[in-house]
Structure formats: C-alpha cells, structure tokens
Structure 1
Amino acid sequence: MRARWITAGVGTLLVAVLGAAPSAAHDGGFHEVQPPPMEMQQQEFEAVAAADAEEDSNAPRGFAPCIQGMAADTYPCDGVDMLSHLTLDDLGFSFANDMWGWTDPATKKDYALLGGTEGTAFVDISDPKRPRHVGTLPAHVLDENRPFWRDIKVHDDHAFIVSEQIPHGMQVFDLTRLRGATGEPVTFDEDAHYDGIDRAHNVAVNEDTGFAYVVGSDTCEGGLHMVDITAPTSPSFAGCFAEHGYIHDTQCVIYEGPDARYRGNEICFNSNANRVGDGIENRLSIVDVTDKDNPVALAREDYAEDGYSHQGSLTPDQRYFLHGDELDEVEHGVNTRTRVWDVSDLTAPGVNGTFDNETTSIDHNIYTEGSFAYASNYTSGLRVYDTSEVASGELSEVAFFDVYPENDNATFEGGTWSNYSHFRQKGIVAVNTMDRGLFVLQPRVSRSGN
C-alpha cells in the first residue's frame, strides 16, 4: 500500500489510499495561519508508513555497486554506489525526515544524525559498509495532532534539535556521549533544553559564531529567532528578526564574498515564504544579523513561477545561492528546478539562471561542497550536480541514485528528505528517506571532485 499526497494550495494532505475521503490536516505553521508545505494526519500516515516498512523489510542492505544503471537490481543509478542501507525498522522509526552529520574530533568516527517521528537516531558510519545504530534521543514531546518532523544541526560537538511538536522547544545533546555506547542501541536523555520557543520548523547554526537561527517558530512572526549557543548546554535568547515574516529555512555565514561592504559581517540567506491573506509571498531575503539587537534587512526579492520558497545553499565562494522551491513543479508543471541566484550584490540579488533537470520530482534540500551540489529530490532520490558553470546560471547532473524506484512523480509519497556529505571520509554521502530509512552512498565523482 502506498500513500498519495493531495495538493491544496500551499498545504498538502497525506492520505492512505484506502478509498476513504481525506480528513482535514492540522495546521503546522505560525499562529495556525502559516503552514509549512507539508501537513498530515499522523494516524493516516503511520498506517501507510507501516506498510512501506513491511515492503522494505526485504530490501537490499549491503554493498551494491551501480552496474549498468542499477544497484542491487532495485535502485536506478548512475555513478553512485550503495555502501549500505538501514531500514526504518532498523532505526526504530515509523517515518524519517531531516538529517545532519558529525565527526568526533577525538575518535575521528563519522556519525549520521537522523530525524524521525520517535526522535533522533545516531548511526556510526565510520565503516560505511557496516553502519551501526548507536542509540536514539527520544522526542521531547510527541503530539499526535501535529506534524512530527524535526531538524538537527551541530555546534561544538552538541546537536540542536527542533520540531513542529508542541511544546518541543529545542533539545541539546552532547554528541561525545556516543563514544561510550556499545552493544544494543541506547536510549539517551537530553543534556539541556531551550524553551524560548514552543515549536519550530527548522534550525540553522553558524558554527563560526556560535549562534543558532530557529525559523518557522511560534515567535518572531516565524522569522529568525536567534539563540546564543556558545555555551551549548546553556542556550540563551539573542535576538529576533520578524520584518520579513515566516522563514522556512536559512543559511547564516560570516560573509567573505564579493560584496566588500559586508565582508566580516554575519549574513543570513533566507528562503522566505510568508503568508499574506490567501496567498504566499515567496522570496529570497538577505539579512545582516551582526548586531543581534538590531538586524538589518538588506534585500527581499521575488522570482517567477513560484510555489513555495523552501531551501537553498551558497556556493563556497558565497557568490551564488542555489535555491529550491518546493511546489513549483506541482503548481507550474516544470521539471525538477533549481534557481541560481547571483548574490554578489547583497542588496540587489537576482536569478541569473534556472536548471530544470530531466526528472519530474519535487526538489527538497540541496547542499554544496566543492564544485558539486548534492540535491535530495523526493521521488527521484539523490542527484549530484556539477556547479563549475554556475557563473553562467547553469548546472549539470553528473550522477544520481534513485532511492524511490516506483516513480518520479511530483508528489510527497516517498523518497529522500535530505542528505549530508561533510564527513571526514571524503566521497561519502548519507541520505535519509521518509519511507526507507538511511542510505550510505558513494558518488564516484566525489573521489576526485571534492
């Protein structure tokens, strides 16, 4: 049995294909009027997820090279080998979502940090062909009436975790505790908790400054809720930016790009999807947050054929921003689209090109490393893009691994939510999927490209 997603404006409902009419979803956004682009009934989803997990129980789990376009006679691929696979059942999840990664500075071990309905799972992938589920930090609270995805980032060997659940707040977990975990997976407790928010859709961390940026929360009009995490287990409120309304995702950096006016400042690049009346203003917004008490808006620009401004990532030189819109494929019938923004002038960014892949799936999270971008595109899986021609507004696909072989539909019925590639082991990419769990992959292009 499979799920199907019914698009209704910006919100979407997940319903089981049971012949029954879909019921109304609980609103997951700011003050119940700012929904994220995915909403669902947990009971309906878990019935489908359980069926998916049962289907996946016999899926290939070990090393499977990409040979003549297929891995393990199951997954379409090109230039990407599967090193290993852990199912939802292996992880103790009924549904998986976002992820991040961490390398232990003492042991040099690599860990995948995986979000799921039940909490955050920690997987040792130091031997990428033999991953080990070390343990799980349970969700701070589970609320069956609200979306249950979560987001994870890392600073100073601590994980910071937010969720749409109420009142989840932000969990803090000392990742060095993973060193002593052996044997069966451990159930951990949190080391600290930040209650300056009840819920949030996402969190970004600037590891260079020690600040977390919570977005899509019930504070700051859903904008940037800034938290000082320089003392990780004593997080404290640092400031608020509400001028642009709801921000779905952000990347905040110490700016070293071409706009000399702002070098050395802390700048946030925001995927801004603010509800106004019955519509959504989809923008790229740029904010100088150097002074947390007085953040300064630098730009807020719209773009053509928008659906829902979702997420993006700067190129290493901070000159371009690769931006994904989560609903343009659905609402405008385009193929999987990535916009290339020229942000060399922070006060006047503009789209200088769009890359439409041959696939028809919805794009989700994209991250850059070296001259490549790693895109998680729901039903079409991990796509690897060459960014060497980005100055011309062009990308090109050089490799892929399709974790959802059923189809490439522009739906949310399954596939990959996110990926992480910045491990000590170069060339390893971990991919978290909603319905099949964790894949540890090795794109061949990364061996010489990064």
Structure 2
Amino acid sequence: MHDIKWIRENPEGFDAALQKRGVAPQSAHLIALDEQRRLHIAKVQEAQERRNAASKEIGKAMASKDMETAEKLKAEVGELKNFLSEAEEEERRLNQELTTALSTLPNIPLESVPLGQDENDNVEIRRVGSQKNFAFDPKEHFEIGENLGLMNFERAAKIAGSRFTVLTGALARLERALGQFMLDLHTTEHGYTEVMPPLMVRDEAMYGTGQLPKFTEDLFRTTDGRWLIPTSEVPLTNLVAQEILDGRTLPLRFTALTPCFRSEAGSAGRDTRGMLRQHQFLKVEMVSITNAENAIDEHERMTACAEEVLKRLDIPFRTVVLCTGDMGFGAQKTYDIEAWIPGQKTYREISSCSVCGDFQGRRMNARYRVEGEKNTRHVYTLNGSGVAVGRALIAVIENYQQEDGSIIVPDVLVPYMGGMTKIEKVI
C-alpha cells in the first residue's frame, strides 16, 4: 500500500517509479480521488459543527420563547442529520475507492534495482561453487527418481491430478531431512524463531501481504471462505498485523517449514514434467520485521542466510538481482538465488529474497514506536525462501547422482537420514 500523503508531495517521483515497472502514471488520478475524499470530509465536519451550533441555538430560542426561530433551527438540524447520515456511507465509499486504487498498484523499486522488462534483464552478481564434471550424461530428477522406484507421478495424478508427486522411502525421508536441516540452520545459527503457523488464512491476511485483491486466480480457496497459503510469508508477516511494536524489539525474525499451495494459473505448459512447478510443495520461509534504518542491511543478511543453505549442501548456485520488470508485486528489491540443475544444464530459482519497505506494513496497519517519539511508524518487512525444499531436493538428486542411478547423500544430511550415505534402487 502506498502513502497518499507522500504521493501528493511527490507526484512526479511516484509516476517515474511506477513507469520503471511498466505502469502508466497514476498520481493525478489518485490525488483527484483523495481530493474528493478530503473535500467530502471537510463538508461533513462543517455540517457537524453547524448541527452542534444550531442545537445550542434552539435552546436559546426556546428560552426566549422565540418559537418561530426555534422551529426553523429544528428543521435545519433535521436536514443536517439527514445529510450526515447519507454522508457517512459516502465517506466509506470514497475511502474504499481510494484504498482499492492504491492497493492494486505494485511497490516502487529502489534506485539500485536495474531497469528491465523481464528475466532476461536480471543482473547476476555472483556465482558460488563449481559445476560438477560428470563422466556420463546427467539425468533429470524425475528420471532418477522413477528409476529408483521412489518417485511416482502416475499415482499422484490418480489421487490428485497433474502437478503432484508421491515420494516414498528414502526420497521421502530426504525431502524431510532437507526441511529439518534448513530449520535447524536458521534457528540455531541465523537467529530466526521457528513458528508453526496456520495453513489457512482469512482475506485480511492475504490482503496484508499483497496476494489480494490482485492475485486471486493464483490461490486456492476453501468452501468456508479461507485461503490455503501460497507461502508461509503470509501468516508469518501477519503475526504483527494491527499491532504497535516496541521499536527496541526489532528486528523480529521468523521461520517456518510448511506446505504451500498454488494454482499455477499462469504456468500452463511450463515445467509439466517433474517437481519443479507443483500445486503443493514444502518450503522453509524466512520473514523479518524491522525498521527503515536497518531494512537494506537485513535484506543482505537474509540473502546470505539462504545462500548458506546451498553452501552447506555443496550445490553450485548464482545470485541475481531482479530487474524492475521481473520483481514481485510487493517488492522494492529482490535477489533470486538459482541452483545449478545438471539435468537441464541451467540454473533454476530456488530462493527469492525481497525487501518490501513499509508496503505490507501499511496494508496490515502494523507499526512500531520509537522511544521519545509521539507518532508511530509503519514496520518494514522482508521475506525470503530459506529455501524451497522441493527444489532443493531436485538440486540434490541431480548434483549427487551417480552413473548407476544411485544418489549420494550430502554430508550435512547424513545425520538426518539415520546415517544413510547413499540412496539406491528399491529391489
């Protein structure tokens, strides 16, 4: 959500920032809506003041037995009451019209974000790890998993339809091990507090993080009007919704391992084989609630936490900064971390870490109080995958595959696998 006061004071800057994201100028329209709202509020206040004054004048007229004046004043008060009754509904309508207009506009990018149209304009900032030289042609994860007898898409389709997977045995345990490893790393070394949040949320929570109203088609809704979470960013960020925090407690850092649910409405025909793009998947999420002064440093810190997961797994990766045309709706700046996938001979996104400024804080009305200041400030929020567990599983399967079709278990995961060091075909 944008600050209309800031837009009024910086209309050209606001339009220029939106233009970087391919959005037409909006300030004139927004300011006009706000002006209409403000004029109406002024009329209401004037009418309330006149009603109060006229009510007092009625008493004086009655006391002096000036019944003609009293009756005129009573008629005037009646008209004012009727106006104020209708004006209340009009004020709600004008407020909602402005709120709707503001809520459908994306966040404005930071100056350090590169200009661009799509993923082809993203800028690589570093590569970590060396791509393994295989003595054979590496297979894709679904070939390896199916050959091992531990990954089954046909059974998943029989149960739930397309874009689902059934993992069994050692591969099911490997996915679980990855999630546990990530949680342990973030909670014991990176300072995040583990949370087990609801997997279904109300409209207000989806609105607070920016999924509603713009991205309804990407979500799954329950029969009682709740939403299945597309990411635990939603419940984790909304932990502070409608609250006023003590600024001395910031930053707050939360992490969670949850299933996530997405309709993948815009991905028809993309990644139809395998586990890369699923309706249901596991993800470890990181969320930070902080202030304006520390948000940029927190963004770099969060990205480093996500990168550390891949470093410990010894998975080659690269980190890119997304251009203005490829950023998510609520982001001011985003780093994507892309793991090397040998079977596809390319890097694929495994984590996305974004700083959102006070964009979500305003939508949630989440604020903090600075010691010595009378007014409160809206919190700054950040979110990042730490990392997508299903995609980490793909990266491990493909990077640790052996010529005989087995998979070596990364050293950091061996304790989580009960000492198992290799995954072999089920006989």
TM-score range, shorter chain: under 0.3
Q: TM-score, normalised by structure 1?
A: 0.25
Q: Which has the higher helix share?
A: 2
> Whose strand proportion is higher, 1 or 2?
1
Greater RCO, 1 or 2 (C-alpha within 8 Å, sep 6+): 2
In terms of Rg, which structure is larger?
2
